[in-house]
Each structure stands twice: as C-alpha cells, then as structure tokens.
C-alpha cells in the first residue's frame, strides 16, 4: 500500500510517516519547506520527498493521501485530491485506524508539558523492559527519534488539542481512544483555532468522554479549567497531582531547583528522585508520568529509578553550548506560564540575581497566539525572573511590545532583527551568565550564530 503525506515535515506528520514506513507501507510525501533534520530522518527511512504542492506528485497513484492540519483549501495538492476523488484521511485518523486500535494507549494532554511528560512516560516503560511504541511532538533524547511502533500493548502519544485537518475541526486527541490519560494543565492558547477558553474545555471534555470506566485520568487539583472539564461529566477514576502530602501524588522538594525530590502517594513515601531536570513544573510532570506508568503495571519504585537516567527532550532547556563561562540554552517555551516556570527553575539553579550570575532571557513571540498579542499583558510578569530581557519584535508582529517593556523597565529591550540581538548579547554577556533562548521555531538559527560570535569574541 502506498501512502502519500501532505505536510510531511512537521513533527507530528513526520512521526506518522516513520510509523507508516515501519508498518511496511510505501511512503512518500511533500511539504513547502523540506530541510534537515526532518528531511534527513525521513530520507534515511526510505521515504520519497517532494518540495512544494504541485499536483504532479500524485502521478505515482498513491492508495491513500494523509493530509496534515497545516493544509487548507486552495492548496493545489488539496484541490487536486478533492477534484479527482482520491482517498484521503487525517494524520490522527490514520494513526487510530492503522496502529492504535489494538493498543493500550497512554495519552498526555495539556497546554504545557506534553512532550516532556510523554517522553518521561515512554522512558519509564522502556526502562521497565516493556518496549512501548510512541509518537511524541519532539525528539526524546533517551530514544533519539520521535516515533516508533514498539511492542504491544503499550503506546504513548502526545495528545494535542489542535484541530485535526481542514475537513475535521475536532481536536486531534479525540481520535486516540486512550485507556490512561494525563491532563497536565489547561490554559487559553491556539487563538487562531479557539475563540475562548470554553471552546478548549469542550474539546477536553470530548476526550474525557472517550476514556473507559476501567481506565485512569491523572490530573492536578490546582488547575481550575481542568476541574471545570471534569465537572462536565466523568466516568473514569481520577488520581490527583496534589499540593497536600496526605492525598494523591505529592512531591517534597529536597533541592530547591527541583533536581531532587521525594515522592508520596496518599501520604505514603514512595522513594526519591535525583535527576538532571529542573523546576516545579518538571516535578509535576514526573509525578504524572509515574502515576501513568503505575496504571500500566510498573511499580512506583522502578519508575522513580528510571527517572534518574531520564534526559529531557531536545529543545527543553537544552544546553546548546558554553563559551568562556557563558551558557546558552534552547527552550520551546511559547506561553507565559511555561516561560515563568522555566525561568523559575533556572533561577533556583543559578541562585539569587547578581551581577556575577545573570539570566539573559531572549524571546521570539512566534506561536500564532503570541503573534496575535493575546498574552501581551501577562508576558512581562512571566519574564520578571530574568536579569535582562531581549524581545524579538519583527515588523510582522501584530502588536506593540510596550506593554511588556513597561512592566520590566530598564532590563527589557526590543530588537527587530536577529543580528542586532547577537551583537548586543556578545557585547553584554560575561563569565557566569546564562542565556535562555525561547521560541517554538528555529529563531533564524540564533543559537549557533550566537555561540560562534562568542567564540570569535574569545579569540579576539
């Protein structure tokens, strides 16, 4: 069977392509921008790639077209599929029909932390010898790739609330029919898709409606929008991530930066985690992963041991390099809450703010919600833990950054081009500084460019 994928170079659709190839299908695909590392990963798997959406790509007569959610009406390839009556489906539907229907699906949903928590969960199951399948919207460094079939029954999926396709406006996660579900959190995001938080709550409740009575939901007690979702109706047992030691899953930090903590369940100590990750948000992610793995049969003590060798996914507080005592990080943070928790974790690691050890935060507001200015009032406060803030404001940004800079005062500056940002950081950074670069895109390759500029400065 020949599968052709439109929009193949996105992380999710690229993962679908790799899974389809592993299933034994002949796979090809196209995208507007075909470049490494995804293009290399796909080519190495024997997948034929076409750049652009010319109808000629269908001359090979594929049996099924899988259409990514970035494709819309008016796209020449989409119009060709519709006009010729070719058989088509969405990525989530393909995953459900060809792989998930016979598996125990463990789904991780929420506004933040999906990639990290799913990676933790997959690693715990792997360390326990269960060889799970997974599809994760990033690259878990414990595995080195974003998707694999694995062995039955377990399959871990990052369950995204974004819409499925131009012809299916339901959230992706309603297709997966999971048995174990982590609901990390719920805040307003994806303003290009959802008009308000209530619309997102409805989609999350659609997910809740698909979870069987012998399944499990893991959710924090402190997330009001998730509590609203569960009050709409729930037919599945719930285990809570708790802020009280006496009930549910609770963590007591033994190091303030979250790199060590004790795990409790219903008031009973379960063991101690010591790992390389930072921040209260990652501690909460770990509790959720431990709980989900326990539902799949992994004893808590083994899950705790596995987290000791867990490596955060790429682009999650990933250290890209250190030059002359200046550390440069790459982080995917794209929402004020994620920015705030990431900075809080780094601050706890490096200590109190002073002139010797500074955090220089560099933010590209790249997500659709950020570009629309939905979070402009909360963005400034989320960056307050940084000593210097650099905000990238290209000409196409649809809002005035004054709301951010006014809140932060003299420590915030805006730049309209990447080269000026690099020049500024190279001028001000000194030994002991931590440069945290945050974007959900490539940010013009700023990480490598900055490291090279710092190297040249050192040689000079």
pLDDT computed for residue 36 by the predictor: 66
Residues 6+ apart with CB under 8 A from 46: 21, 27
Among the three residues 37, 63, 91, which one is the final residue of a domain in this structure? 91
Residue 272 sits in the same domain as residue 338? no
pLDDT computed for residue 14 by the predictor: 92
Residue 255 sits in the same domain as residue 224? yes
Residue 301 domain-assigned?
Answer: yes
Secondary structure of residue 271 in the 3-state scheme: strand
Residue 280 sits in the same domain as residue 329? no
Among the three residues 251, 273, 307, which one is the final residue of a domain in this structure? 307
The burial of 347, by beta-carbon neighbours within 10 Å (0-12 exposed, 13-18 middle, 19 or more buried), is given as buried
382 contacts 340 by C-beta, under 8 angstroms = yes
Element at 345 (helix H, strand E): helix 336-350
Range of the domain at 46: 2-91
How does residue 345 score in pLDDT terms, banded at 50, 70 and 90? confident
Residue 264 has which token pair?
Answer: 């409790």
Residue 298 has pLDDT above 80, yes or no: yes
Residues 6+ apart with CB under 8 A from 126: 132, 142, 143, 306
Residue 243 sits in the same domain as residue 382? no
CATH of the domain at 269: 3.40.1190.10
Residue 211 sits in the same domain as residue 129? yes
Higher pLDDT, 108 or 317: 108
**Mean pLDDT throughout 350-359?**
78
Residue 10 domain-assigned?
Answer: yes
pLDDT computed for residue 327 by the predictor: 93
Residue 187 sits in the same domain as residue 332? no
Total structural domains in the chain? 3
Q: How far apart are CA 109 and CA 157, in angstroms?
A: 9
Residue 271 sits in the same domain as residue 247? yes
**Per-residue pLDDT tens for 266-288?**
999 999 999 988 888 899 999 99
CATH of the domain at 79: 3.40.50.720
Q: How far apart are CA 109 and CA 183, in angstroms?
A: 5
Backbone angles phi, psi at 158, to 5 degrees: -75, 115
**Per-residue pLDDT tens for 170-227?**
999 999 999 999 999 998 877 778 889 999 999 999 999 999 999 999 999 989 999 9
Q: Are strands 238-241 and 268-274 parallel, antiparallel or unpaired?
A: unpaired
């Amino acid at each position: 069977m020949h599968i052709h994928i439109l929009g193949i170079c996105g992380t999710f659709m690229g993962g679908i392509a790799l899974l389809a190839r592993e299933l034994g299908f002949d796979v090809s695909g196209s995208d507007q921008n075909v470049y490494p590392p995804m293009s290399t990963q796909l080519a190495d798997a024997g997948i034929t790639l076409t750049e652009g959406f010319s109808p000629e790509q269908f001359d090979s007569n594929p049996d099924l077209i899988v259409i990514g959610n970035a494709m819309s009406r008016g796209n020449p390839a989409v119009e060709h599929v519709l006009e010729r009556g070719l058989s088509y489906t969405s990525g989530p539907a393909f995953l459900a029909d060809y792989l998930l229907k016979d598996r125990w699906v463990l789904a991780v949903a929420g506004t933040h932390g999906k990639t990290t928590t799913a990676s933790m969960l997959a690693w715990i199951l792997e360390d326990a010898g269960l060889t799970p399948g997974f599809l994760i919207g990033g690259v878990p460094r414990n595995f080195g790739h974003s998707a694999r079939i694995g062995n039955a029954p377990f399959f871990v999926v990052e369950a995204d609330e974004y819409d499925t396709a131009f012809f299916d406006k339901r959230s992706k996660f309603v297709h997966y029919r999971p048995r174990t579900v982590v609901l990390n959190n719920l805040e307003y995001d994806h303003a290009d898709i959802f008009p308000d938080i209530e619309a997102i709550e409805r989609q999350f409740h659609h997910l809740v409606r698909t979870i069987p009575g012998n399944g499990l939901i893991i959710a924090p007690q402190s997330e009001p929008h998730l509590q609203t979702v569960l009050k709409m109706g729930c037919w599945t047992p719930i285990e809570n991530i708790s802020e009280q030691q006496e009930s549910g899953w609770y963590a007591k930090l033994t190091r303030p930066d979250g790199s060590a903590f004790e795990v409790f369940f219903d008031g009973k100590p379960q063991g101690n985690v010591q790992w390389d990750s930072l921040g209260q948000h990652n501690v909460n992610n770990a509790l959720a992963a431990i709980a989900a793995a326990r539902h799949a049969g992994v004893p808590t003590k083994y899950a705790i041991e596995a987290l000791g060798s867990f490596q955060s996914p790429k682009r999650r507080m990933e250290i890209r390099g250190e030059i002359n005592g200046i550390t440069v990080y790459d982080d995917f943070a794209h929402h004020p809450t994620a920015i705030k928790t990431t900075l809080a974790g780094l601050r706890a690691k490096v200590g109190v703010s002073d002139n010797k050890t500074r955090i220089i935060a560099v933010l590209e507001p790249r997500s659709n919600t950020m570009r629309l200015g939905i979070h402009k009032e909360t963005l400034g406060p989320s960056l307050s833990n940084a000593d210097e803030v650099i905000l990238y404001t290209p000409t196409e940004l649809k809002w005035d950054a004054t709301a951010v800079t006014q809140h932060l005062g003299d420590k915030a500056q805006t730049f309209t081009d990447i080269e000026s940002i690099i020049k500024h950081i190279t001028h001000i950074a000194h030994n002991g500084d931590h440069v945290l670069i945050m974007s959900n895109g490539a940010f013009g390759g700023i990480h490598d460019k900055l490291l090279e500029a710092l190297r040249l400065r050192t040689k000079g």
